[in-house]
Amino acid sequence: MPRLPRHRHFRAAALALAVIASAFAGPAAASEQSLEYAVKATYLYKLAPFVEWPAHAHDPQTGTIDLCVVGEDPFGDTLDRAVAGQQLGGRPFAVRRMRVLDPRARCHVMFLGGSAAQTADALRMARGMPVLTVTDAVADPAAMGIVNFVVVDGRVRFEIDAAAAAQNGIAISSKLLDLAVAVHRGGETPR
Amino acid sequence: MTRASGTSGIWRQASAVALGIAVALLIAGVAIAAYNERAYTMQRADEASVQARILAAAVTAALAFEDREAAQEYVNALGANPEVEAASVFDAAGLPFVTYARTAVLAVSSADGFAGPAVSPADGFAASPADGFIDVTAPVVQGGIVLGSVHLRSVTEPFAARLERYGGIALLVTMGVLVVVVLGAAHAALSRANAELRQQASALAEAYQKLKAETEERERAEEALRQSQKMEAIGQLSGGVAHDFNNLLQAMSGCLRLIERKAAVPEIRPLIEAGRQAVDRGAKLTQQLMAFARRQALRPEPVDVEGRLRGMSELLARALRADIELRMELERGLWPIEVDPTQFELAVLNLAVNARDAMPDGGRLLVEGRNLTLSSDLGPQGLGPQGLAQELAGDYVRLSLTDTGQGMSAEVLARAFEPFFTTKGVGQGTGLGLSQVYGFARQSGGTAHIDSTPGQGTSIVLMLPRCLATPAPGGPEPASAAGPGGGRRLLFVEDDPVVGAMMASAIEDLGYVVTRAVSADEALALVERGEEFDLLFTDVVMPGTASGLDLAREVRRLRPAMPILLTSGYNEGAQAGKEFPLLPKPYRVETLADALANLAEGPRVVSS
């Protein structure tokens, strides 16, 4: 089975256009908005299978894969429905929501939904910890998580910062990298 | 033939084995084809499942994050494999995510077929081969999370193409079967041909054996014929000589008689007596010769064999020695035979004497008699050459005399019946004994032959024809004393001048008045002329238009009361002997005197 190398161009302009369009969509766009976040909620837990955490990242007592939503929660119960009954490597998913990042909290996947500044702070705090940080359509590279959702041609896609993942000590499957619209590797993108 | 059938049984088994091998080959061929087919299908299923797994692994991310473009690329990439007919990816809800189909028609059918996952994703993997296709389903799993499933439809080689592929094997198997069958058939045919050949060979051998036996039989018959012809020739020769010799002896006998009467010198009496004895011996010899030549005048009459032999036992015992045991084994109710009793007795006596001479150290003589019926188609054992069987068909009394003596060698056996052939020393035998036996048997309508083994004994067998008449009881009558002629007139007919003259004077000496005639015609003329005669004494065989027998018949017609006496040296006299008294030649004057005297008395005896 030939594996096709996938080359993606960074299309920031298109992404911005999509964000603006969604911001001014009005009531008709509200359902579209919720559909988009339902997809994102699904993607959030679906990222987990493509990620490898170091052994110490798992709590032997709870044995859960923890999905943390920090700051504003755009998903509502869609995230809880998406992970309901799902298991990863025998571990069930658990959803935690927190207004600000609690450094003691154990998180495997962390969605940062606050402002860019808050997100940047949280990212700094999480740096070096075995956490897959996810941000939603952040344009500022400093506030960009390891995975950053973007909308391309009306479809939800994502960028991956492989260097940040390496800093956090987690490994991201090449399959996921293949699918990313952009992959930042060490040195390529200034932090 | 049993061997042949046994061998053909083996060949039949061989052909059965060949058939078995052929069937086994066929079965093996079919089994190999089936195995290959199954292995091929399984291999294709494995290949398809591996491709499905690869596709499932590749499309995980694309499926998880709904990147149809990427997934479609993965799926379309499968199209590079010509064996992949269609491929589809279904999401976790079982809805088609992306689909690839090689042809539009198949796309529709695959869309139908793939409307839902054929298997639940939890099953992991499943393959379902249909005709021409192998459908494979594999789950798309990442990190234990089932993201969806992948369906792959792979074409298998069409059945016709596979059949073509198996054609090679089928051809080989068929060739093998054909070869085996042909070999088996050839073997069967060969074995049949072999059996036929063997049969023909054995039939040929049988035919050869039959031919050989027939040839031997023919040789025996020819030998018997030669022997019989030889005997016949010798018989004719000796018969002719004996007849002439007999007449000479007759003349000599008469001369001696005359000399005795005319020259009354006592000194010559012993000489005359010696001469007479010599004539007697000569007469006996010629008699036996003629017996062999079947020219003797037989007087056959019905004879009771048992009575005859019992009556002879005293005579036989005297002829044998004390150290020889005589045994008679005669079947009860032996048929009568028609033979000359005197010749019969002479034959038995001859055989007894021969047996005695063959047993110088004693032994046993067995006289056997039994009734025997010969059929014309078979020559029973112990009856001599088979050629005689035809001639001898009928009822016979078989009389055999078996001794325990020296036996005869083959050379002796071949010549034993010949006259003057003897193994005895000079002066001991005449060589005419067995020839008399043979002549007697043949002349009596029978035959004689010899069975002999050197050192073990000899058996001489007489086959004498049965006679239906009843034999007259009693033995031979004793000859009455001679009486004088009494001056009776006697017509004497004899063609031989010497014999005639000599005998006429001898008869005159007996007191008869003799009138001589040299032929039957002359004698008849005398009778017809009215000459008176009391007796007629005539030879049978004479030159002229009438024989002595004709003369006798005519005279009987003319003068029924006139006694008639015939004489003959030939067996032509035998017929005459049945009608008239017959005096066999040669005869002595005394015998003639008795016969004439009996003849003169005869009518008186009958009338009284």
Cβ atoms B461, B367 nearer than 8 A:
no
Stretch B432-454: mean pLDDT: 85
* B61/A173 Cβ within 8 A: yes
Say which of B61, B67, B144 has its CB closest to residue A50: B61
Place of tokens 């193994």: B423
Cβ atoms B367, B399 nearer than 8 A:
yes
Q: Is B264 exposed, middle or buried (0-12, 13-18, 19+ CB in 10 A)?
A: exposed
Helices then strands, counting H and E runs in chain A, come out as 6, 10
The residue ranges of DSSP E strands in B218-279, in sequence order, are: none
pLDDT at residue number B439: 85
* B203 band by pLDDT with thresholds 50, 70 and 90: very high
What does the block give as tokens for B36?
A: 């290959």
Residue type, B295: R
Ramachandran quadrant class, B182 (left: phi over 0; alpha: psi -120 to 50; beta: rest)? alpha
CA pair distance A88, B527, nearest whole angstrom: 177
The residue ranges of DSSP E strands in B201-323, in sequence order, are: 301-303
CB environment B64-88: b (16+ within 10 A), e (fewer): bbbbeebbbbbbebbeeeebbbbbb
| DSSP one-letter code for B567 | E
pLDDT at residue number B201: 96
Which residues 6+ apart lie within 8 Å of B418 measured at CB?
Answer: B230, B231, B234, B431, B435
* B8 band by pLDDT with thresholds 50, 70 and 90: low
Does A164 contact chain B (CB < 8 Å)? no
CA pair distance B223, A97, nearest whole angstrom: 149
CA pair distance B591, B608, nearest whole angstrom: 25
* B548 band by pLDDT with thresholds 50, 70 and 90: confident
Range from A153-162, B378-387, B476-485, B598-607 that averages highest in pLDDT? A153-162
Place of tokens 């003797």: B296
* B58/A90 Cβ within 8 A: no
Stretch B318-344: mean pLDDT: 85
* B77/A179 Cβ within 8 A: no
At B46-95, the pLDDT tens digits run: 888 888 888 888 888 888 888 888 888 888 888 888 888 888 899 888 88
What does the block give as tokens for A30?
A: 């509200």
| DSSP one-letter code for B381 | T
Stretch B276-280: mean pLDDT: 84
Cα angle vertex B384, ends B381, B390, to 5°? 90
Q: Which of B155-159, B164-168, B592-596 has the lowest mean pLDDT?
A: B155-159
Does residue B205 carry a pLDDT above 90? yes
| Shortest CA gap B73–chain A (Å) | 8
State which residue of chain B sits closest to A2, comparing Cα positions.
B77
Q: Which of A62-66, B125-129, B272-276 has the lowest mean pLDDT?
A: B125-129
Which residues 6+ apart lie within 8 Å of B176 measured at CB?
Answer: B22, B25
| Shortest CA gap B171–chain A (Å) | 39
> How many CB atoms within 10 Å of residue B404?
19
Residues of A in contact with B142 (CB under 8 A): 49-50, 173, 175
CA pair distance B284, B296, nearest whole angstrom: 12
Give kind and range of the element (H or E) at residue A112: strand A109-112
At B555-580, the pLDDT tens digits run: 888 888 888 988 887 665 566 677 88
Stretch B159-187: mean pLDDT: 83
Q: Which residues 89-148 on chain B approach chain A with CB closer than 8 angstroms?
A: 142-145, 147
At B292-322, the pLDDT tens digits run: 776 666 778 888 888 888 887 777 877 787 8
| DSSP one-letter code for B335 | P
Which residues 6+ apart lie within 8 Å of B178 measured at CB?
Answer: none
Residue type, A38: A
Beta strand pairing call for B96-101 and B84-91: antiparallel
Cβ atoms B44, B153 nearer than 8 A:
no
* A43/B143 Cβ within 8 A: no
Residues of A in contact with B71 (CB under 8 A): none
* A88/B144 Cβ within 8 A: yes
CA distances from B418 to A104, B11, B289, B298, B425 (A): 163, 66, 10, 20, 17
ipTM score for this prediction:
0.72
CA pair distance B141, A87, nearest whole angstrom: 12
* B77/A2 Cβ within 8 A: yes
Place of tokens 């004057």: B589
pLDDT at residue number B476: 39
Cα angle vertex B440, ends B436, B443, to 5°? 135
Cβ atoms B539, B497 nearer than 8 A:
no
Q: What is the pLDDT along chain A (191 residues), one digit of tens a residue?
A: 444 444 444 444 444 444 444 444 444 455 667 788 888 888 888 888 888 888 887 777 778 888 889 888 888 888 888 888 888 878 888 888 888 887 778 888 989 887 778 888 888 888 888 889 998 888 777 788 889 988 888 888 899 988 888 888 888 888 888 888 888 876 544 44
What does the block give as tokens for B270?
A: 């012993």
Give kind and range of the element (H or E) at residue B489: strand B489-493
Does residue B1 carry a pLDDT above 50? no
Q: Which of B322-336, B342-356, B471-485 has the lowest mean pLDDT?
A: B471-485
Place of tokens 């325990």: B404
Q: Among residues of chain B, what percentage have pLDDT more than 90?
A: 8
Place of tokens 């709870």: A62
CA pair distance B448, B6, nearest whole angstrom: 53
* B10 band by pLDDT with thresholds 50, 70 and 90: low
Tell me the sheet residues that pair with B325.
B364
Place of tokens 């910062």: A161
Say which of B70, B80, B144 has its CB closest to residue A90: B144
Phi, psi of B289 (to 5 degrees): -60, -45
Q: Which residues 113-132 on chain A approach chain B with CB closer than 8 angstroms?
A: none
Q: Which pTM was predicted?
A: 0.42
pLDDT at residue number A32: 67
pLDDT at residue number B376: 64
pLDDT at residue number B605: 35
Higher pLDDT, B291 or A75: A75
End-to-end Cα, chain A, rounded Å: 37
Nearest to B291 by CA among B301, B279, B283, B280: B283
Does A134 contact chain B (CB < 8 Å)? no
Does B272 contact chain A (CB < 8 Å)? no
Tell me the sheet residues that pair with B394.
B374
Residue type, B141: V
CA pair distance B204, A77, nearest whole angstrom: 116
* B73/A157 Cβ within 8 A: no
The residue ranges of DSSP E strands in B93-201, in sequence order, are: 96-101, 126-130, 133-142, 145-155
DSSP B449-485: EEEEETTTEEEEEEEEEB--SPPPSS-PPPPPPP---
pLDDT at residue number B216: 94
Range from B264-273, B283-292, B415-424, B529-538 that averages highest in pLDDT? B529-538
pLDDT at residue number B105: 43
